[in-house]
Amino acid sequence: MNIAAKIFSVFMTAVLAFGMSGCTAPGKAGRSDINELQSHKGDLLVIVSHPQEAMPAEEYDKAVVRMSVTYDGCAINPNPINNAKVKMPDDEYLRIYNFCVEAAAENRFAGYSEDICDATTYTFTYYDTEGNAHVLYDGYCYDNKELQDIMKLISKYSLD
């Protein structure tokens, strides 16, 4: 075997090994990382809705909704009757985690805003594995499909 063939063999072996490792982008979790992620405590993502209409403070406090995903893989989408945790499937949990990591790293929503004068604003806060808070977005998000999809994904775990 000549030297070029040996180098090519070593290169192809490395490519194959790298491909089989199921690697993901830096900071992005794959299925093999899920157990480590779920060993962390606390919130991963918290979405708080804030009504933007005039109302007494006690009504406002009742109208604010806080839904979240915790590091252990559960969604919490409280309602007046039930606020229990619901275990999410791994693929949806990883979708939420990867959304958070990527949006924080890219500062994805820094320049995004919608020109609306009423309704509800939303605050998306990601907590990294060290517990540091990263506000991904704060404002109206009716026209942003990505933010709406994340809210819909979490909302489907409501126990009503």
* Helix, strand, coil distribution of the chain in percent, nearest 5: 40, 20, 40
d(CA 71, CA 114): 30
- Mean predicted confidence (pLDDT) in 7-26: 43
The CA angle 117-62-85, to the nearest 5 degrees, is 110
Indicate the domain borders of the chain: 29-155
49-98 residue pLDDT tens: 998 888 788 887 777 889 999 999 999 987 656 667 899 999 999 999 99
Mean pLDDT across the chain:
82
Q: Which of 88, 78, 85 is nearest to 49 (CA)?
A: 78
What pLDDT sits at residue 1?
A: 56
107-147 residue pLDDT tens: 999 999 999 877 899 999 999 999 999 999 999 999 999 99
